[in-house]
Amino acid sequence: MRAYKLALKSIFALIILLLTVIFVISITGNNREEVKPEHTYRIVPSYNPGFYPHDLSLSLYILNEDDEVMDDKNMKILYTLTNHNARTPQKGELIAKTGEVYMFSGGKEPDYEYMDFAGIRKTYKYTDSIDVVNTSNSFPRVVMVRAAIFMDGEKYGKTQTFTYIIGTGVEDFAEHFGAMVVCITTDEKNLYGYEEGIMIKGATYDFTKTNNPQRDEDWWYPKNYNQRGRQWEREAHVAFFESDGTLVLSQNCGIRTAGGTSRNALIKSLKLIARREYSEHTGTFDYEFFDDLRDHYGNRVKSFERLVLRNSVNDDGGSMIRDQLINDLGAYAGVDHQAGRPCVVYLNGKYYSMMTLKQSLDNDNIETRYHINKDTLAIITIQSDFFQFRYRLESGTEEDFNAYIKDMRKLINTNYTNKDIAEIEEIIDVDNFIKYMAFQIYIVNPDWPHNNVMAWKYTGPVNESVYGMDGKWRFVLRDLDFGLRDPSRNMFETVMSGGLYNNEPHLGQVLKNLLRNKEFNRRFKEYMTKLCTEILTEDVLTEYILNAKEERVQDMKMYRFYFGGSDLQWNNLVNEFLDFARQRNRHVLNQLKNLP
């Protein structure tokens, strides 16, 4: 019996040992890319990534940590090449399960699994120089080379991405582009994979159709591209070329879809997120993207954790300049706004769109601007859900959300007629609120304040000596695509007669009640008058409008090639803005006289 038990113990120990070996092998196999030789190697191209007016013959070299070229037969370079501009389905082009064409295909990770559909997704073994060429006589071509070192059949380290813009023989970058060029590369499965693709309806859509067949489809219908959060972030590489053609930043990052109902458009807004897990050297985008952007203390902002590439789908008529133009006017008027600049975006080597590169409106933005720890910030927004516009917590706790609702209701329901304005100041930054409300009314923004509100406040220990750390609510401009129209419209009446779904507190009702306070009333009218007579004069508005147009003129050529439209249509829209500049001040001042 004892021998039997010993035999069982031996067999059991052997089983445990075998299971342990299998587990170790499986872990090693699943993390091949993490197994590194004792030396550090990297790929270096014969031409630095950047803008070149002519074609290149590109060589790739493996260098060690001493910058010596390696000639080890066991070390191979595999690469993929994104070298095509066509935006129509090509021979062998893939179609997603939910019907979307792989319009922005490419960006494949180099792998031994060769795929050859019209040469679009093939992995090559580097043996000779690579032709980086532009066969177009009209537009420049963006070429991405993604290369990785393989040793003994296994990948060593991360894939490296080299981005080239090849011109048409013209030396001057400004002959091709008028703005910054942003080139994004990501494996096409991140865009079109059934489960993980962020540009398609995908598995999320099919799951809803199967499990909730009675639900009507609308802009908010569950689809891959309508999902939010970290789980819908995909790794990519981004390269930023300044308007003179200089490559100013090139690094890996995360990308997500961004925006609201505009996610349903072919050209979706994209959020870029810097993280150390993507780029081992930095967890930020370290470049001074916005010339005029300064923090609250006058320092230039040179580092960003998140950036947004914003489409102009909601710019009714397609001026492509409206949202950022109004944000820039807000900056001039002293209103908290969103910095931005025009840019041209390429995705996996294909022209994506003319867009606006912007700060991301989140707690990172507030932290950068006011030097307040983002973990101590509450952010409340309004967004639509089945056309039911209601407040949503973006950052902070449910307690913070409830505090906002309670505070706004107090501002609506308290009789401040004979009270000191200091009681209002305990809840909101009055100067911030006056400028925010007056400016939105001035620019005639009909998509607000029932929508597109953003409020924030500091929730940590009060420190009155530091701006923003006083626990008061403040407001920031966002999503201004519907402004600058109908200069005669009485927005005072529109705003103060509005309401919200489920009787949530409406900022128009806040303004209406606070105007009963004599000091608030005086300060609001004083600022609105100054806005019309000293700040946003006809000359100022005209200058900003014409400058915004000029910034887009060069890049509108390529935009129209892909999306249609004409100079006449665009000029007509700009003329409407100029007409607004001529008329708006007169109408606002007349309407202000009738304000209680």
Residues forming a β-bridge with 180:
343
| Residue 334 domain-assigned (yes or no) | no
Residues 384 and 255 in one domain: no
User: What residue numbers bound the domain in which 582 lies?
Assistant: 373-593
| Residue 235 domain-assigned (yes or no) | yes
Residues forming a β-bridge with 141:
166
Q: What are phi and psi of 521, to 5 degrees?
A: -60, -45
Query: Given this model, what pLDDT does residue 123 score?
Result: 84
This prediction has a pTM of 0.89
Tell which of 286, 321, 346 closes a domain.
286
Q: In a 3-state reduction of DSSP, which class is residue 548? A: helix
Query: Given this model, what pLDDT does residue 117 score?
Result: 47
**Tens digits of residue pLDDT in 93-127:** 688 999 999 899 889 889 876 544 444 557 888 98
Tell which of 230, 254, 286 closes a domain.
286
| Residue 292 domain-assigned (yes or no) | no
Strands 377-385 and 454-458, sheet pairing: antiparallel
Whether 324 and 483 have beta carbons less than 8 Å apart is answered as no
Q: How far apart are the first and last CA of the chain?
A: 102
Whether 310 and 259 have beta carbons less than 8 Å apart is answered as yes
Residues 411 and 269 in one domain: no
Residues 383 and 278 in one domain: no
Burial (CB < 10 A; 0-12, 13-18, 19+), residue 524, is: buried
| Residue 302 domain-assigned (yes or no) | no
| Residue 126 domain-assigned (yes or no) | yes
| Residue 13 domain-assigned (yes or no) | no
Q: What is the C-alpha separation between 522 and 526, in angstroms, rounded? A: 6
What 8-state DSSP symbol labels residue 479?
A: -
* Biggest alpha carbon–alpha carbon distance for the chain: 106
Burial (CB < 10 A; 0-12, 13-18, 19+), residue 203, is: middle
Query: Given this model, what pLDDT does residue 8 score?
Result: 42
**Tens digits of residue pLDDT in 127-179:** 899 999 998 878 899 999 999 999 888 888 899 999 999 999 989 999 999 99
Helix axes 567-593, 518-530, angle to 10 degrees: 140
Residues forming a β-bridge with 380:
393, 455
Residues 180 and 61 in one domain: yes
Tell which of 286, 305, 322 closes a domain.
286
Query: Given this model, what pLDDT does residue 84 score?
Result: 66
Q: What is the DSSP string of 264-325?
A: GSSS-EEEEE--TTT-TT-SSEES---TT-B-TTSPBP-EESEEEEE--TTSTT--S-HHHH
| Residue 44 domain-assigned (yes or no) | yes
In angstroms, what CA-CA distances link 567 with 69, 175, 444, 461, 558? 53, 19, 26, 55, 12
User: What are the DSSP E strand ranges found in 71-118?
Assistant: 75-82
Contacts for 79 with CB less than 8 Å, ≥ 6 apart: 60, 110, 123, 124, 126, 130, 145, 146, 147, 148
Alpha carbon 408 to its chain centroid, in Å, reads 30
Question: Number of folded domains in the chain?
Answer: 2
* 80 HSE (CA, 13 A, CB side): 30
Weakly modelled stretches of the chain, pLDDT under 70: 1-39, 84-93, 113-121, 316-317, 385-387
Q: What is the C-alpha separation between 198 and 232, in angstroms, rounded? A: 7
Task: Tell which residue, 354, 377, 376, 381, has the closest CA to residue 478.
Answer: 381
Task: Tell which residue, 163, 344, 155, 141, has the closest CA to residue 237.
Answer: 163
| Residue 198 domain-assigned (yes or no) | yes
Residues forming a β-bridge with 272:
255, 307
Structure tokens of 409?
A: 């209701």
Task: Tell which residue, 58, 57, 62, has the closest CA to residue 73.
Answer: 62
Residues 378 and 276 in one domain: no
Structure tokens of 112?
A: 């031994």
Q: What is the C-alpha separation between 153 and 164, in angstroms, rounded? A: 28
Task: Tell which residue, 70, 75, 241, 46, has the closest CA to residue 157.
Answer: 75
